[in-house]
A and B are shown apart, each in its own frame.
Chain A
Amino acid sequence: MMNDNKMFCGCANAITNCNCEYDPQGINAAFGYNTASEADNCACNMKNCCENDMETRQDMLNKIRSLDFAIVELAQYLDTHPDDKKAICLHKEYCNQYRELTDSYQKVYGPLTINCPCNKWRWLEEPWPWEGGMC
């Protein structure tokens, strides 16, 4: 499923240092995602791409959803393949990206979970996911 062409995963530069290696193309292709590069772009362009706010918000939600699904999928894979270092490395990277992206999102658009600290209770703000729009 995954080829042997290894490189550093980039999370050595992130908050947690890890020495794991993986081939992003190979693994992304294998799992069917391209979330890493998309999320990178989003994080970089956050301040510059707000001309169309709704589009930006939906865009960020889609990336959060992609990362979240990738984490869910990798976790289930790791449940039966706990020694797969490539998968662990990718999981770690996606988790870091997920945390950064959800932090950025919640600062602007309000909480995604009740665990988000705040000065004003924005949890009540609509729409809820079942109401269309932001979902």
Chain B
Amino acid sequence: MWTYNKVLQYPINIKNSNAKLAKFIISQYGGPDGELAASLRYLSQRFGMPDQKSKAVLNDIGTEELAHLEMVGTIVHQLTKDLSAEEIKAAGLGDYYTDHGVDVYPQSAAGTPFTAAYIACKGDPIANLQEDLAAEQKARATYEKLIDLCADDPEVLDPLRFLRQREIVHFQRFGEALRGVQDKLAEKRFYMNNMNCNNNDNNNNDNDCGCGN
């Protein structure tokens, strides 16, 4: 279960509102490579992991992503404070304002509402961890594009740089977890219940190494 800490993981104090930037950054809240998708992806995949390290890594990174979700939501909230309807309209946020006001709503930069189709749980730990590695790289790339778009606002840049760095660290951890899972699955006798593993039948035979040879 979870408890809430009443502190942001990294400080955010944006004094100048900027609706245009908010329109871009909302994508890391509820977009295809956003923090909500990341958290749900990892916390859902952890149930099917075959070794200790991969369970712990998915659990703990999935948890940290919720803290990042709060950070991105905070950035969007602070960027949309004290705006007039004219400013919102001029920034191209009129459509968003019509449906959501200045609430923080999980959608992509292009306006697509969040969907679980952004995440995959394939029932295969290798496929899942490879997806996670790709997800971290896509999130890093997205943050780099946002950093380009926000280049003239240091108060926005700073937390975005922190979030980008975390993607790189998570990529490293997932790579290590993947290596562990590969070693685990390569063991001569590997037992696991409730996983769609091709060599399950072979494992019933003590004389069979399970590798098919």
Contact A126 B47 (CB under 8 A): no
B52-93 interface bits toward A, Cβ cutoff 8 Å, 1 = contact, 0 = none: 110110011000000000000000000000000000000000
Contact B53 A124 (CB under 8 A): yes
Interface size grouping (class) on chain A: 10 to 19
Closest to A127 in B: B55
What is the CA–CA distance of A94 and B55 in the complex, to the nearest angstrom?
A: 31
Closest to B52 in A: A124
Contact A124 B47 (CB under 8 A): no
Chain A residues lying within 8 Å of B46, measured Cβ to Cβ, are: 128, 130
Closest to A125 in B: B52
Closest chain-B Cβ to A19's Cβ sits at a distance in Å of 26
What is the CA–CA distance of A129 and B47 in the complex, to the nearest angstrom?
A: 10
Contact A130 B56 (CB under 8 A): no
Instruction: Provide the main secondary structure of the chain B interface.
Output: helix
Contact A114 B60 (CB under 8 A): yes
Q: Is A77 an interface residue (CB 8 A)?
A: no
Closest to A126 in B: B52
Tally chain B residues at the interface, Cβ within 8 Å: 10
What is the CA–CA distance of A130 and B47 in the complex, to the nearest angstrom?
A: 7
What is the CA–CA distance of A124 and B59 in the complex, to the nearest angstrom?
A: 11
Chain A residues lying within 8 Å of B52, measured Cβ to Cβ, are: 124-126
Chain A residues lying within 8 Å of B55, measured Cβ to Cβ, are: 124, 126, 128
Closest to A121 in B: B56
Closest to B56 in A: A124
Closest to A123 in B: B56
What is the CA–CA distance of A104 and B211 in the complex, to the nearest angstrom?
A: 46
Closest to A72 in B: B3
Closest chain-B Cβ to A82's Cβ sits at a distance in Å of 15
Closest to B51 in A: A124
A94-135 interface bits toward B, Cβ cutoff 8 Å, 1 = contact, 0 = none: 000000000000000000011000000001111011100000
Chain B residues lying within 8 Å of A114, measured Cβ to Cβ, are: 60
Closest chain-B Cβ to A112's Cβ sits at a distance in Å of 10
Contact A128 B59 (CB under 8 A): yes
Chain B residues lying within 8 Å of A128, measured Cβ to Cβ, are: 46, 55, 59
What is the CA–CA distance of A114 and B60 in the complex, to the nearest angstrom?
A: 9
Chain B residues lying within 8 Å of A126, measured Cβ to Cβ, are: 52, 55
Closest chain-A Cβ to B45's Cβ sits at a distance in Å of 12
Q: Give residues of chain B (30-52) contacting chain A, Cβ–Cβ below 8 Å.
A: 46-47, 52
What is the CA–CA distance of A56 and B22 in the complex, to the nearest angstrom?
A: 52
What is the CA–CA distance of A123 and B1 in the complex, to the nearest angstrom?
A: 15
Closest chain-A Cβ to B48's Cβ sits at a distance in Å of 10
A113, A114, A128: residue with the most chain B Cβ atoms closer than 10 Å: A128
Closest chain-A Cβ to B61's Cβ sits at a distance in Å of 12
Query: Could you show 8 A-B contacts with beta carbons less than 8 Å apart?
Result: A68-B1, A114-B60, A124-B52, A124-B53, A124-B55, A124-B56, A126-B52, A128-B46
* Shortest beta-carbon contacts, A-B, top 10: A124-B52, A124-B56, A130-B47, A128-B55, A123-B56, A126-B52, A124-B53, A114-B60, A128-B59, A125-B52
What is the interface of chain B, defined by CB distance below 8 A to chain A?
1, 3, 46-47, 52-53, 55-56, 59-60
Task: For the A-B complex with A114-B60, A128-B55, A129-B1 known, give 6 more contacts whose Cβ atoms are closer than 8 Å.
Answer: A123-B56, A124-B52, A124-B55, A124-B56, A126-B52, A130-B47
